[in-house]
Structure 1
């Protein structure tokens, strides 16, 4: 059985995701699909539109055979660690042959050359990156400019011209870097991202829109029906039955919890949280008294600069909300932090893959948090993230707060 791995958020699963999945199967000649998916909080520092089990069912109905969870320690990270955690999870299964991802460029060759150059953590590149950051630009812009300068100096004009400041090109490069650093046998493939861009908020096509635009449409209209042309019927059906859709999930639901921490903890405590750097704790404290309203959007507007992008700020504020400290996220800790493979759902074909994983996987395979034989800080963080996410549910009970222990994987019989 040839198996392709996908790295996804499915927030929500839409027609563009369906296209990517089908094309991935086609170009890799795979007959099984394993997806590693972010849980309740996502790479841009946002809560998911629907819980991870609902989104798992979307994935299974859309064509995935096995859905694994990307631990929250990696899912709410910048590109480097998001990619590393996801690739390490797929690699550890022992059953994934290929990795297929979307990119704006659609050309694997220059990306692989850059990845091979940077896999050894080159001091000249680190120096270039530091110089670009000193110009006061955002990290993604600085990274793209540093790659361009580094590959130009190496005489690789094609790689230098590749747009590594584009989000999916950047993620793709970091997937390839992770493959190099893990010495993974998985074969990489890329598909050119068509039509809607990753962060595009407007809709210019009749069938494909970005997840960002789809979420905006659902939240503004107050109903998933507004996104019906851009999502499979199964996604629409699942969203319509989700209490999260009724609650119009967004950061707004977590404002009180966040502001309680921001107001009650001194600056030195805020500085201990992951992603709170370069004096951001003082910027937060100074902004609070003059906010026009105690809302998440008002806070972001007060904090945003060219250097502090919306995404970086959202990740920092999410780390504060979830209690993720710098000591949890050291480079050494993250490099060795993928300690388990958490199963969120499977089909009959996925069940066959799980049987193979019992023999071939290099990490414990967990069907629930209760299966863990030893304590893990990152697993604890996953459980806590589920509890925080569930607190915004209209009718939360203890089983919802601790569903990681009580719940079972989603099983879809095809």
Structure 2
């Protein structure tokens, strides 16, 4: 039985995701689909537009058979650890045979050689990254340049490698391949070329497919009616229900009071204790706060932005402050141990069969009730979900504690 694994955020699920889903099943000859999905906060350091339960429904309506939550300890990390955590979850199920991801390249031939060269994190690669960072480059740009230099030293084409890795889905796909190698996984990789819309496209360029960024912009500016051409009907229906109930849309500015409360009360030394807070960024934040025109997250990010600090890096750093993610809990040594559990968010009838198989194949405990496991990573997930719920347009106690009560969604 072929089972394809997908690593998703579905923020929200749109027509491009539906295309990728269908192609993944076709290429893998898959009988079932396991989706590893970020919870309420995402890899670029921002909140999801609606909560993980609503997005799990979207995934199940699309045809996913089992939806697992990527712990927030990995979901809000740079590409290397995001990919490692997600691939480790798929590997831990013991039932996934293939992994399919989207890429600009649309083929593995260019990415696989790079993954073999970069998987061991050589001293030369680390030194090259440090040198590139010293020039003022952002980390993604520094890694792409350093990887290209390393590959050139091994007889590769540096210019081609750098151009490839400067494209966001290629870069993330490379880290999926690296994670498979580091985990010595037998899962077979596949890739689908991104169609019609680029990852960062802020506006639609196609009649039916737009990036998630563009879809969210349409929702913000014109509501569901404006975004509807780019969404499956079930996504539009779920969004309409969540918005009507006051559970969305949630944006960074929904967290203004929470975030500024933390930033104002913390000393520079306390800020420095948070994950990804480095190179004196805590002093820059404290210096900027009194001069802001308004206490908005958007304004703070605008003022903090430099060539060195990408928007994504800054968002993630502020998110770690908001969620009180201390650097001692998210060290490379801690993260390299991988996730400690498989949290089930939803399943289909076929997914129930997979869960039965996983009783004997899984290398991690399968969690269907939050109270069923005591794990530091799970505690971070529960806190993140409560923080997210407290920023919803309409706050309800039932939402604040939903993670403790909500069983997996079944369709």
TM-score range normalised by the length of the shorter chain: over 0.9
- Quick check: 2:49–2:248 contact (8 Å CA) kept in 1? no
Aligned residues: 409
The answer to whether structure 1 residue 104 and structure 2 residue 104 are counterparts is yes
Whole-angstrom distance in 1 between the partners of 2:396 and 2:19: 38
Whole-angstrom distance in 2 between the partners of 1:55 and 1:18: 14
Whole-angstrom distance in 1 between the partners of 2:248 and 2:404: 24
The 5 Å alignment of 1:15-414 reads 15-157=15-157, 160=161, 163-221=164-222, 223-243=223-243, 247-372=248-373, 375-412=374-411
- Quick check: 1:49–1:245 contact (8 Å CA) kept in 2? no
- Quick check: 2:249–2:393 contact (8 Å CA) kept in 1? no
Q: Tell me the SS of whatever aligns to 2:137.
A: coil
1:104-161 Cα shifts (integer Å, max 9, x gaps): 1112123111111122111111111111111101111111111111112211228636
Q: For residues 245 and 312 of structure 1, do their structure 2 counterparts lie closer, same or farther at Cα, with a shift above 3 Å needed?
A: farther
- Quick check: 1:39–1:71 contact (8 Å CA) kept in 2? yes
TM-score normalised according to structure 2 size: 0.97
Whole-angstrom distance in 1 between the partners of 2:154 and 2:392: 53
- Quick check: 2:246–2:393 contact (8 Å CA) kept in 1? no
| 1:77 positional shift | 0.7
| 1:101 positional shift | 0.3
- Quick check: 1:110–1:162 contact (8 Å CA) kept in 2? no
1:2-49 Cα shifts (integer Å, max 9, x gaps): 100000000000000000000001111111000000000000111101
| 1:249 positional shift | 1.6
1:353-404 Cα shifts (integer Å, max 9, x gaps): 00101111000000121121xx211100000001000002244333321212
Whole-angstrom distance in 2 between the partners of 1:346 and 1:87: 19
| 1:247 positional shift | 4.4
Whole-angstrom distance in 2 between the partners of 1:392 and 1:14: 24
Shifted more, 304-313 versus 157-166: the winner is 157-166
Question: Which residue of structure 1 lines up, in the alignment, with residue 3 of structure 2?
Answer: 3
TM-score normalised according to structure 1 size: 0.96
| 1:266 positional shift | 0.5
| 1:248 positional shift | 3.1
Q: Tell me the SS of whatever aligns to 1:190.
A: strand
- Quick check: 2:250–2:392 contact (8 Å CA) kept in 1? no
When the two chains are superposed, the root-mean-square deviation of aligned CA atoms in Å is 1.3
Whole-angstrom distance in 1 between the partners of 2:161 and 2:103: 16
